[in-house]
Amino acid sequence: MENLTRTQIILLVLLVSFVTSLATGIVTVTLVNQAPQPITHTLGKVIEKTIERVVPGESQPVSVQPPVVISPEEAIVKIVQNVSSAVVSVVASKDIPVIEKYYINPFGDDPLFQIPQYRQKGTEKKDVSSGTGFFVSSDGLIVTNKHVVEDTAAEYTVIMNDGRKINAKVLARDPFQDIAILKVEGEKFNFISLGNSDQLKIGQSVVAIGNALGEFQNTVSVGIISGLNRNITATGGLSGPEYLQGLIQTDAAINSGNSGGPLINLSGQAIGINTAMAQGAENIGFALPINIAKRDIEDAKQYGQIKYPYLGIRYQAVTSAIKDQKKLSFDYGLFLVKGSNREPAVAKDSPAEKAGLKEGDIIMEYNGTKILNTSIFVSLLSKSRVGDKVGLKIWRDSKEMEIQIILEERPGNL
């Protein structure tokens, strides 16, 4: 250092300063690149950004808007706004006797002896029950529960979301499901499109809309699908208890009066018909899968009534005992047997007889689906329509066979 000239010392200082500045710049750029990006959205809210890109041949940048994302709350509000006018209250009214109270005196005019008596003094029309329904077509078809409109002596009126009252005709009542189809005169009604209830998942968000307690029209509740394929015995209808299979369980509130209303997914589609609630429990409600109702809706459109498909067989589920007895390699299917009063296993002139089914046959599959229990068979048959050709795989004489069968309408005496 002592031998360095003044000029050399100045050059050395400048060199050290340059190297230090260069190193500082490199470190700074590295830290900036590694820093986290600004947060552009928070939970439940999305901030839209305009992205600029330069298109070759154009002097100005083009703005590209990304897809708009909305929160679950906003989605539910939009769904309710879109479908509320398609949900109606269904009110039953009847001519009810007017009872008059009067007094008689068996002892003449003595005012101390007045015995009350009652007599009818004409009738007056009164609302006797109410439920919910929803439009499934623009020309006035409405779906509801059968128990909402099961009184054949009553007249039915639907009350629109805007307060209008329209007379309704009961087109059909499903003899085996809690489903009924109504028709009102008019056109261009708002309606709810139907989803696919076979694709539902537990935990999926749903919205229930209905005439809660018969008083609070278009009440909205939100929840999730809590369970699938539930079987219950529903009470409260005029016809007594009803066994319902394959129901959707939800924790969305389903109160008295909600029966017949839609259970809706976040795409705004009806995936169920609100049907029952568990007494003595909280947040346990049940809905019929909408796919069960699709056949009824199509029948009502085509025939003006519901035609139920029919095979004409008596059966019992294959059990482990039957498997051992018949030396079967499988433990599922329907074993065709005589009834408890020796009724034939295959009804005379039925579709099953025409297709060649016999007592002792075991139906293993229905249109390629294994019949693991009787509920599966009932569900498959209920989704079929009169006139459908279905394929059955059967077991006869220790071998499999394929049979084609054309479904007919169930006779009225069954």
User: For residues 231 and 372, what is the distance between their CA atoms, to the nearest angstrom?
Assistant: 16
Residue with tokens 């007889």: 353
Which residues make Cβ contacts (< 8 Å) with residue 165, sequence separation at least 6? 157, 158, 159
pLDDT value of position 404: 94
- 239 in catalytic set: no
Of 281, 282, 272, 221, nearest to 248 by C-alpha is 272
User: For residues 274 and 244, what is the distance between their CA atoms, to the nearest angstrom?
Assistant: 12
Of 217, 290, 200, 228, nearest to 255 by C-alpha is 217
The catalytic residue among 89, 129, 178, 221 is 178
Max Cα–Cα distance, the chain, nearest Å: 152
Give the H/E segment covering residue 353: helix 351-355
pLDDT tens across the length of the chain (414 residues): 455 566 666 666 666 666 666 666 665 555 545 544 443 333 333 323 333 444 444 445 445 566 666 677 888 899 999 999 999 999 998 777 778 777 777 766 666 667 777 777 777 777 778 899 999 999 999 999 998 998 888 899 999 988 899 999 998 888 788 899 999 998 899 999 999 999 999 999 999 998 877 677 888 999 999 999 888 877 766 556 777 888 999 999 888 788 899 999 999 999 999 988 887 777 888 999 999 899 889 888 888 888 888 899 999 999 888 888 888 889 999 999 988 888 999 999 999 999 999 999 999 999 999 999 888 888 888 888 899 999 999 999 889 999 999 999 888 766
- 147 in catalytic set: yes
Q: Which whole-number Å values give the CA distances from 65 to 27, 47, 104, 327, in the listed order?
A: 36, 12, 86, 67
Structure tokens at 52: 């600029």
Enumerate the β-bridge partners of residue 92: 129, 156
Structure tokens at 199: 């694709």
String of DSSP letters for 134-171: EE-STTSEEEE-GGGS--TTSEEEEE-TTS-EEEEEEE
- 178 in catalytic set: yes
String of DSSP letters for 56-101: TT-SSPEEEPPPP---HHHHHHHHHHHHGGGEEEEEEEEEEEEEEE
- Phi and psi of 182, rounded to 5°? -110, 165
Q: Which whole-number Å values give the CA distances from 256 to 129, 162, 177, 261, 296, in the listed order?
A: 11, 22, 19, 11, 24
The catalytic residue among 89, 129, 259, 350 is 259
User: For residues 159 and 156, what is the distance between their CA atoms, to the nearest angstrom?
Assistant: 10
CA distance between the termini of the chain: 117
Q: Which domains does the chain have, with CATH numbers?
A: 80-184 (2.40.10.10), 197-303 (2.40.10.10), 309-409 (2.30.42.10)
Of 337, 332, 340, nearest to 314 by C-alpha is 337
Of 230, 278, 226, nearest to 251 by C-alpha is 226
Count other Cβ atoms within 10 Å, centred on residue 42.
Answer: 8
The catalytic residue among 89, 129, 130, 147 is 147
Q: Read off the pLDDT of residues 359-414 as tens digits, 9 standing for 90 and up.
A: 999 999 999 999 998 888 888 888 888 999 999 999 998 899 999 999 998 887 66
User: For residues 6 and 1, what is the distance between their CA atoms, to the nearest angstrom?
Assistant: 10
